[in-house]
Structure 1
Amino acid sequence: MYCYQDRIRAVELYIKLGKRVRPTIRQLGDPTENSLKGWYNAYLLKLNLSAGYAGREPKFSQAQKAAAIRIHVHGCGQAAHGAALDGP
């Protein structure tokens, strides 16, 4: 993960070098091409970057997590796992 200062420095260098990805990454030594382009696109929307990461929606609900823990603790068989978690 990159801090705000690293990301803004990368975007500013990217702009300064004429939005050329490879020279920017070569000079910084990092980040990936996709990260750099994503930061630049986020920068264009607000003319700034967010201080942190927005994150993403959790893959599993709290109820599903609790059911998985309950199944693991009680040691049910493999076939019971799918039925208890509402999945295959």
Structure 2
Amino acid sequence: MISRNTDLAIALCLTLRVVYGLALRQTQGLMRSVAALMGFDIAVPDFSTLSRRSKGLALPSTKCRTTSGPVHLVVDSTGSKVFGEGEWLENKHKTKA
């Protein structure tokens, strides 16, 4: 069972919050639904814990976007990163669109 207070769990919840533009209570509900759908019996951080712990965590960059295009959440062994439309490909291939 994953501890509800790990930095990784908090960072994942807050990153998904930014990607989907959710309020803290909605983020808590999303994470509970995902855990239930996957059949996992894990503790999901509640909205007040997310609020308190968000102040001390370094989250992926969420640059101001002028377009309403898609947002890409990339998760790999180095962590998670948030990219706007085309930014991921530019970063991956070191090119400019």
Q: TM-score range by the shorter chain?
A: 0.3 to 0.5
- Between Structure 1 and Structure 2, the one with more helix by share is 1
Richer in strand (by share): 2
TM-score normalised according to structure 2 size: 0.32
Greater Rg by CA: 1
Give the TM-score, by structure 1 length. Answer: 0.35
